[in-house]
């Protein structure tokens, strides 16, 4: 996967501190040193490199070059995201500053990655910006198109736990139900309404109930997640 990379210590002061006699100072400085990802290469077919503009509210734990985004985690190595092949077109924070979302768009390509700063898990690909349930403990996205330009091309639901994020649902091969999928709303933490063909005179609606065996059903709009 292009978005996962290695890292290096980004502060030479750690090496300088090794010469000090005070071992406690060395340990403290090493613990707070920022780690910078190794830079992803810029290939000839990646297009013109651009420098992402990191929002001020994220600057304390996010750094960017023309090819690589480094996101510091609460502990351990940072998350490394490859942006050499596209431009960053979205930055988001969810669950306080625990989850960082990065949208990437290139030529006939789109991706959206969610980084959990509390764990060492790989970034989660959602294709587009996810939407959270009323309680904020679950999020979902759908990114399905006939052209298949998205990095996800599926419908997914995830649950945010204290020390992990768990995938609850992943459904692919949805084109036979319709085109241009949209997440309309979370009716509750346990039911989501989707639609296809919203630009048409008679769009189709679908509900996903998050039961023990989640199932996607075609329904009338008025009946979606009703009861």
pLDDT in tens, 53-89: 999 999 999 999 999 999 999 999 999 999 998 999 9
pLDDT at 134 over 50: yes
16 in a structural domain: yes
68 in a structural domain: yes
The whole-number pLDDT of residue 141 equals 98
Distance CA 227, CA 224 (A): 9
The whole-number pLDDT of residue 199 equals 84
Distance CA 6, CA 79 (A): 8
82 in a structural domain: yes
**What contacts 96, CB < 8 A, 6 or more positions away?**
none
Reported as type and span, the H/E element at residue 24 is: helix 23-32
Distance CA 151, CA 51 (A): 22
183 in a structural domain: no
The CA distances from residue 119 to 100, 160, 163, in Å, are 12, 11, 7
24 in a structural domain: yes
The whole-number pLDDT of residue 11 equals 42
The whole-number pLDDT of residue 46 equals 80
The whole-number pLDDT of residue 20 equals 44
Q: Which two tokens stand for residue 83?
A: 């942006």
147 in a structural domain: no
Distance CA 82, CA 153 (A): 19
59 in a structural domain: yes
Distance CA 113, CA 185 (A): 21
The whole-number pLDDT of residue 108 equals 82
**pLDDT, tens digit (0-9, with 9 covering 90-100), for 14-51:** 334 444 445 444 443 444 468 999 999 998 888 788 99
pLDDT at 222 over 90: yes
The whole-number pLDDT of residue 45 equals 82
The whole-number pLDDT of residue 145 equals 80
Tell me how many domains the chain contains: 1
Nearest C-alpha neighbor of 192 from the set 182, 204, 179: 182
The whole-number pLDDT of residue 26 equals 40
Distance CA 61, CA 72 (A): 5
**Mean per-residue pLDDT, 134-143:** 97
Domain with 27, as residue range(s), is 7-125
143 in a structural domain: no
Q: Which two tokens stand for residue 85?
A: 């092949």
The whole-number pLDDT of residue 201 equals 87
Tally: H helices and E strands in the chain: 2, 17
**pLDDT, tens digit (0-9, with 9 covering 90-100), for 172-219:** 989 888 888 999 999 999 999 999 988 888 999 999 999 888 989 999
| Three-state DSSP class for residue 65 | coil
Q: Which two tokens stand for residue 152?
A: 């996800």
């Amino acid at each position: 996967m292009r978005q996962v990379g290695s890292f290096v210590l980004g502060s030479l002061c750690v090496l300088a501190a090794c010469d000090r006699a005070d071992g406690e100072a060395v340990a403290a400085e090493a613990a707070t040193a920022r780690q910078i990802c190794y830079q992803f290469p810029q290939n000839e077919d990646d297009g013109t490199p651009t420098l992402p503009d990191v929002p001020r509210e994220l600057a304390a734990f996010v750094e960017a070059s023309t090819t690589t985004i480094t996101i510091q985690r609460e502990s351990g190595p940072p998350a490394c995201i490859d942006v050499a092949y596209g431009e960053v077109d979205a930055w988001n924070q969810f669950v306080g500053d625990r989850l960082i979302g990065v949208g990437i768009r290139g030529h006939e390509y789109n991706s959206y990655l969610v980084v959990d700063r509390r764990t060492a898990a790989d970034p989660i690909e959602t294709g587009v910006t996810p939407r959270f349930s009323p309680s904020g403990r679950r999020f979902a996205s759908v990114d399905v198109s006939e052209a298949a330009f998205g990095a996800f091309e599926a419908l997914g639901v995830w649950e945010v736990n204290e020390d992990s994020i768990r995938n609850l649902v992943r459904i692919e091969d949805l084109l036979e139900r319709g085109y241009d999928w949209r997440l309309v709303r979370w009716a509750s933490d346990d039911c989501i309404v989707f639609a296809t063909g919203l630009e048409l005179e008679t769009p189709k609606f679908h509900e996903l109930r998050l039961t023990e065996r989640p199932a996607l059903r075609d329904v009338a709009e008025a009946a979606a997640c009703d009861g």
